Amino acid sequence: MSYVDEVYNYVVEKNPAQPEFHQAVKEVLDSLRVVIDANEEEYRKDALLERLVTPERQILFRVPWVDDKGQVQVNNGFRVQFNSAIGPYKGGLRFHPSVNLGIIKFLGFEQIFKNSLTGLPIGGGKGGSDFDPKGKSDREIMAFCQSFMTELFRHIGADTDVPAGDIGVGGREIGYMYGQYKRIRDTYEGVLTGKGLTYGGSLARTQATGYGLLYLTAELLKCNGSDIKGKTVCVSGAGNVAIYAIEKAQQLGAKVVTCSDSTGWIYDSEGIDVALLKEVKEVKRARLTEYAAARKSAEYHEGRGVWSIKCDVALPCATQNELHLEDAKQLVANGVQAVCEGANMPTTIEATEYLQENKVMFVGGKAANAGGVATSALEMSQNSERLHWTFEEVDAKLQQIMVNIYHNIDDAAKKYGMEGNYVAGANIAGFLKVAEAMKAQGIV
Ligand code: NDP
């Protein structure tokens, strides 16, 4: 049996009931076969892959808090510090009822390669809780965030582990957690990213993942003889990534006709009105039905359906496993040219394979959504320097990083005889740097 298959079986056996983690490992290891087979003896002896798939540290903790009725609630808290070979652990915190250890491990594992791809010195980690922020009052959110940080603070630090936001964790939650960290530690340091602009946050961090996704998509199209300008784009999600992906796509001259949330989706034949979407989602924190009610050209549909709309470019920006095989078939039948992932692992393995087999340009989240973490690393740099860069400076660096990522993954795919396979290119380019650092640092 090949080393890759052995290690995949080892992961399944050692981590039962964690299907998302198995899926993430399978996707990465399968695309690394050519590199691993070429170095099998050395990697095997050093148990490099076994070390790579085993987190350096996993922290599980209780998060008790009191709701507005005076009732004590208990949630589970997680922080998985996966790999620090190339820098301090870096990765977001997700608050969503679906969160469990397997989901955090899948995200933390992917984060290792994504962070490596940015070219910046950041290791991989991820955390979160099964807490559901939906419908909670501001006071309840603060109570939860303070309790969460009352345990997490002892495991993180500006040079150790620097969490950020993810699903359910935006500026408000980061603010409450940062306040509690500072109070306990009595230290003003860049321990979290995604902070507010008045206390160490970076301009353009809010926009970074969505904007970065479009910078990479535009470069992908340009280098393949096409242009983002004039394209029809379908986006899923209506959160941080989706909103700023829609905004940048429109700035670049594309027309975005869909968005979605966990209950339904919008088709807007005139193109999504970003100002209205921000009002509904960022200010009112309401459902998309309110968007449809305020706009004549918009249709609201319950459930899933974004991928049934004809488009040139599809950008899944909601959550994992939201683009299935039948969606991929529909997209191909409708003539889609490119699919770039704003979310983490939104496309199932079968759907990815179908898109690739049908010559759709496909860029996975590790490369396509790396703009968020890259700008978080720029926030860390500004905090260390005690400086504040302008929006234009940060945005220009972000754009350059995304263009570089595209060329790195394209070059890696070509070098290993898989031209156009950007998934393999991203995994190989991200892996090689981490593997080399792990080798240089000995058996730790
Ligand atoms: P948000 O919480 O801001 O938005 C998530 C969006 O996806 C919301 O519209 C939400 O709907 C929808 N959604 C969440 N869960 C589900 C579900 N189970 N089914 C259908 N829709 C769902 O999160 P972000 O925009 O920050 O994150 C989106 C994705 O991007 C995630 O995969 C995240 O890991 C990834 N990502 C985020 C980065 C960032 O900088 N924020 C960086 C890199 C990746 P509703 O409004 O109903 O909750």
- The answer to whether 166 and 94 are in contact (CB under 8 A) is yes
May I ask the CATH class of domain 208-363? alpha beta
Residue 17: Cβ-neighbour burial (10 angstroms; 0-12, 13-18, 19+):
exposed
Rounded Cα distance between 207 and 35, Å, is 35
Task: Let me know the angle formed at the C-alpha of 164 by 429 and 384, rounded to the nearest 5 degrees.
Answer: 85
Ligand 1 pocket, mutate which of 106, 260, 261 (most atoms under 8 A from CB): 261
Query: Confidence class of residue 258 from pLDDT cuts 50, 70 and 90?
Result: very high
pLDDT tens, residue by residue, 183-198: 999 999 999 999 999 9
Cβ atoms 355, 339 nearer than 8 A? yes
Query: Ligand 1 centroid to 237 CA: how many Å?
Result: 6
Contact 409, 367 (CB under 8 A): yes
CA 195 to CA 376: how far, in whole Å?
Answer: 10
Pocket test for ligand 1, best of 141, 174, 236, 262 (most atoms within 8 A of CB): 262
Task: Report, as an integer, the average pLDDT of 305-311.
Answer: 98
pTM > 0.85: yes
Instruction: Identify the bridge partners of residue 91 per DSSP, sorted by sequence position.
Output: 163
Q: CATH topology of 3-188 equal to that of 208-363?
A: yes
Task: Tell me the domain boundaries of the chain.
Answer: 3-188, 208-363
Rounded to the nearest 10 degrees, what angle do helices 240-251 and 205-223 cross at? 50
Report whether 361 contacts 199 (CB < 8 A): no
Considering just the CA atoms, what is the radius of gyration of the chain in Å? Answer: 21
Position 437 scores a pLDDT of 98
Instruction: Tell me the mean pLDDT in the region 33-41.
Output: 96
**pLDDT of res. 98:** 98
Return d(Cα 435, Cα 170) in angstroms, integer: 33
* CA of 344 relative to ligand 1 center, distance in Å: 9
Distance 341 CA to ligand 1 centre (A): 12
Ligand 1 site, residue 194, Cβ cutoff 6 A: no
pLDDT class of 37 with cuts at 50, 70, 90: very high
Q: Which fold has domain 3-188?
A: Rossmann fold (3.40.50)
Q: What is the model's pLDDT at position 92? A: 97
b/e per residue 240-257 (b: at least 16 CB within 10 A): bbbbbbbbbbbebebbbb
Residue 84 in tokens: 């620090």
Q: What is the pLDDT of residues 316-354, one digit of tens each?
A: 999 999 999 999 999 999 999 999 999 999 999 999 999
- The tens digit of pLDDT for each residue in 379-430 reads 999 999 999 999 999 999 999 999 999 999 999 999 999 999 999 999 999 9
